[in-house]
Structure 1
């Protein structure tokens, strides 16, 4: 049996990283009882701040401006840390210097999916992008950084670097993001299960697991 999951996210969204982590936990538990299940996760682009400069912007200054000062910004980060710790996910917000423009990160994911990469490769790439930003403090808006991440996931670094220097798929990624917005999705993460059920937010692994089972029972629309 095949499980198709469309996951709308942005790689600079901390709740999206938590949502992926909880989805991973839900799928691991499901596979224990359903080893025959084939899972395909399709990553769809979302831009939390479409007006982010191409070169990115200072991370803490952005947070302070968004949340009304450093004290309020730190309180928001603390809430994310507390929620994620229960799932074994730890952030290193203090290491982040740049809030990147994520167009090229989404292009990199689009390229991998369009090339028909195996699900394990796609998931590894998504994990690498989130971890690079939130745990290693690397600039995932930088082409060299993205090429290194792709190479670590088994891609050819030179091919990725050449792709990112050009403008291939920029319009396609933009249209996909616009299409997501037109569907009324204005917050991430957003999960669409078997094109049948939808969940918004970083739901718990238990909630995701129950919804996945329900989507498998109801099947896909004809």
Structure 2
């Protein structure tokens, strides 16, 4: 009988390394094969919790964060190269805004309650990073909810529950994403190669 393995992914939808980490986790699960019965849940973490609800110009945000547009472009180029290795075509040059991700996290949590979490996370990452859409825009979120088969958005979103989850993540010391938590016993921070993630899963399973 396969042992259950609970994977929690602490992530933000405007974090390019989280998108890369998602792809690498998917490959790690293939490597793990039938060794475990796996469940995956995404947990909220806002990289920019003070971001205005309407977001801001990405150029202004990146310049303030990294000191110059040139430095921002250098970092984007590095991430883009890593992304291509995972089949991701980052559209950094077309991305106009850095959004607040609070509503997106609420949508993810609502979707997970309905069994559509993986679809919503994928659509959010793809919309922002490959289609250069503003994932803080209510119309964009509504479209993703509909395509993913999520009902009750936004009326049934649990704002307090999402806030409590994020507070819990910060409370246990998480300060960077992606962070992968295996059975609340082992944590791995960063978009590590699939082999490393698969090894961490096996270590968590052996501790049962």
**TM class by smaller structure:** over 0.9
**Residues paired across the two proteins, number:** 206
Q: Output one character per residue of 1:65-97: Cα deviation in whole Å (capped at 9) or x when no partner.
A: 211111101011111112222222221112211
1:26-175 paired onto structure 2 within 5 Å:
26-31=28-33, 34=34, 37-113=36-112, 115=113, 117-118=114-115, 121-156=116-151, 159-163=152-156, 168-175=157-164
Structure 2 gap ranges (5+): none
- Asked if the contact 2:91–2:129 (Cα under 8 Å) also holds between the matched residues in 1, the reply is yes
- State the Cα RMSD in Å: 1.5
The 2-side partners of 1:137 and 1:162 are apart by 26
The 1-side partners of 2:198 and 2:108 are apart by 25
Shift of 1:24: 0.7
Partner of 2:168: 179
Query: What's the TM-score once normalised by structure 1's chain length?
Result: 0.88
SS of residue in 1 equivalent to 2:135: coil
- Asked if the contact 2:107–2:154 (Cα under 8 Å) also holds between the matched residues in 1, the reply is no
- Asked if the contact 1:105–1:140 (Cα under 8 Å) also holds between the matched residues in 2, the reply is yes
The 2-side partners of 1:194 and 1:52 are apart by 32
Partner of 1:208: 197
The 2-side partners of 1:38 and 1:102 are apart by 30
- Asked if the contact 2:18–2:178 (Cα under 8 Å) also holds between the matched residues in 1, the reply is yes
SS of residue in 2 equivalent to 1:160: coil
- Asked if the contact 1:7–1:41 (Cα under 8 Å) also holds between the matched residues in 2, the reply is yes
Segments ≥4 residues shifted beyond 3 Å: none
Structure 1 gap ranges (5+): none
For 2:182, which of 193, 203, 211 is the aligned residue? 193
Shift of 1:162: 4.0
Query: What's the TM-score once normalised by structure 2's chain length?
Result: 0.93
Task: Indicate the larger mover: 82-91 or 129-138.
Answer: 82-91
Shift of 1:161: 4.4
The 1-side partners of 2:190 and 2:24 are apart by 11
